[in-house]
Amino acid sequence: MSFPRNCWYVAAWSHEVPADGLFARTILGAPVLLYRTAAGQAVALEDRCCHRGAPLSRGRREGDAVRCGYHGLKFAADGTCLEVPGQQTIPREARQRAYPVLERHNWVWLWPGDPALADPALVPDNWACGDPAWPHVPDMKTWPVDWRLVCDNLLDFSHLSYTHEKTLGGSTEIAQSRAEIERLERGVRVTRRVRDVPPAPYHRRFGDLPGNVDRWFIYEFMLPGVLLMHSGLKPTGAAWEDMTGALRLESCQALTPESADSTHYFFMQAAGFGQDDPALPGAIHAALLQAFEEDRAMIEAQQAMLKLGTLPMVAIAADAALAQFRRLLERSLAAEAGPG
């Protein structure tokens, strides 16, 4: 499978990359070594020594460099070979691929494409991951599914009414409502508003909600698979801009393919209320995990069915956002492939 490469992927949460040590993760089918310099700057090298293919992550850090644990070649943070034990001359080919890396708001971003095109301005703004006013539990799961199927899932929230009937959904009105779709240069913006519905079982964990509510989901979904969402609920009946009594939520989610059939799923959800309740972030996270397990089980089952054959899929109105994003992916891959 081809993946878009000229874009920023989340490689790790900041806390996953140790201050003194080595961390390995497979990204887009390639082994990647992550570590930090003495100054704390994140580094990403190919985790496969150019000498005999041993994983560098089984070696050790020496200052800002890393030494292979097999035959001892030593590499700088930019991939340059600094030392070959037993010889003075270092072969020109002895170097490791170094990836452009940025660290923002507790996510470590990696650019697997042309380094000359690695524009920091293209990093999606996951501000809520680093804002102390929005406490949350950071998490990552690896799902044995094609990352595009998870993208599809996040681009069509009508499934909340059915897949998440007893967790995030709670009303068929979500599926009945029509989302507004706005095309962006590197993604789509999806807005879905639902009026006068019962609070979802998920929301009842936040406290006493005596009557029906109005709900909203507003998010940008950016290449290669990053969701940045503002959502919430409030007492029904007021204008949408009236946030009196609203319970607001911010969520950042990112999909990074491990392989064609495996996806690293980074996520968090934070509340703009209950700041005096230290247990609330954990409760939100536990409820989110329950819903995400519902997604994982459904998408795994879907993928198993799709592997049986390539039957045509019938398009419906709810597919509008995912269809636009799939076309954007195709255009990105075509542009990277070049003419012919």
What pLDDT digit, counting tens, does each position of 142-186 carry?
Answer: 999 999 999 999 999 999 999 999 999 989 999 999 999 999 999
Q: Is the pLDDT of residue 204 over 90?
A: no
Name the pLDDT band for 278 (thresholds 50, 70, 90): very high
Rounded Cα–Cα distance for residues 117 and 100 (Å): 10
Residue 329 contacts residue 321 (beta carbons within 8 Å): no
Q: Which domains does the chain have, with CATH numbers?
A: 9-122 (2.102.10.10), 127-334 (3.90.380.10)
Rounded Cα–Cα distance for residues 142 and 165 (Å): 24
Q: Is the pLDDT of residue 208 over 90?
A: no
Residue-by-residue DSSP string for 96-131: --B--EEEETTEEEE--S-GGG--GGGS---GGGG-
pLDDT at 1: 73
- Cα atoms in the 13 Å half-sphere on the side-chain side of 235: 8
Q: Is the pLDDT of residue 291 over 80?
A: yes
Q: Is the pLDDT of residue 215 over 80?
A: yes
What pLDDT digit, counting tens, does each position of 83-123 carry?
Answer: 999 999 999 999 999 999 999 999 999 999 999 999 999 99
Peptide bond preceding 91 in cis form (omega within 30 of 0): no
Name the pLDDT band for 339 (thresholds 50, 70, 90): confident
What pLDDT digit, counting tens, does each position of 4-25 carry?
Answer: 999 999 999 999 999 999 999 9
Residue 102 burial (CB < 10 Å; 0-12/13-18/19+)? middle
pTM reported for the whole predicted model:
0.96
Q: Is the pLDDT of residue 340 over 70?
A: no
What pLDDT digit, counting tens, does each position of 18-45 carry?
Answer: 999 999 999 999 999 999 999 999 999 9
What pLDDT digit, counting tens, does each position of 220-265 carry?
Answer: 999 999 999 999 999 999 999 999 989 999 999 999 999 999 999 9
Q: Is the pLDDT of residue 56 over 90?
A: yes
Cα four-point dihedral sign 69, 72, 74, 80:
negative
